[in-house]
Amino acid sequence: MKVLMTGGAGQLGQALIAARPPGLELIVTSRHGGDGLQALDLADPEACCAAVLAHRPDCVLNAGAYTAVDQAEEEPELAQAVNAGAPAAFAEALAALDGGANDPRPLLQVSTDFVFNGQQGAPYRPEQPCHPLGVYGSSKAAGEAAVLHIPGGRVLRTSWVYGPVGHNFCRTMLRLHRERAASGQPLGVVADQVGCPTSSHTLAAACWRALGVGLDPAAEAELPRILHWTDAGAASWYDIAMAIGELGVELGHLERPAVLRPISTADYPTPARRPSYSLLECVTSRKALGLEPSHWRQALRQVIERLGN
């Protein structure tokens, strides 16, 4: 199987490369290329179409995205181009390659909990309608719609992704724990937004399975068009920050944690509104994918251990 993958330089992209199944030809792209990656600007729909038509992949895994949630409020056109225009271009190009075949080429779109407004107070099921709060969520919802328009399109939603590389909450919080513990200043962390963190490594395994890797043909044929994947459990950002401090000390990254102070969303205003409760219902998707989840704290431990290596 030949797979064209975007976002190769990001934290999920790096995890996908590390978990690449044997016998698979993987063409990896990133915005700037280099280090074995081919350059592909997701803001350029013509380039996205050309990449598909040139490589003629068996499937496309779109792991790249515009993820700067607050900056998207100032750059709506760019966010829309990357998060909606690129998936639409991939879908169009794959449909052209299929030529109306009964066995369409899959397109897996990695999406987000931000397509929901977080107001229902219960986990969101895959089939529920999207009601995003801001530009980022709206652009990702539009990308989902474009992908689901073709027979081979599939969406995998996730939330609060972090890993041992890249810019993410885990790495930032380890640094802040170290700095604030040294200065003696308490650290305020939002405690009234609830969801679930997701390790880039467990998410990568779910992505490959969503493309049918490791599934028998019958199970692959029964996969839902929209899937949810996060690690197990629920937490606020404050809960996660507390766990990062405790594990950081235990695993030798910190001498001591910072003093944490729970704050409200109103205490930490941002340009983009965040859903207050964005937990995703993953039970049916986990069963369809045939994967057992790790609790978020166990997955967090494994990521922090990787940082030590």
Residues with catalytic annotation?
A: 136
Close Cβ partners of 83 (under 8 Å, ≥ 6 residues apart):
65, 66, 136, 139, 140, 142, 143
Q: Which residues pair with 148 in a beta bridge?
A: none
For the chain, what is the largest distance between any 2 Cα atoms, rounded to a whole number of angstroms? 64
DSSP code string of 74-95: T-HHHHHIIIIIHHHHHHHHHH
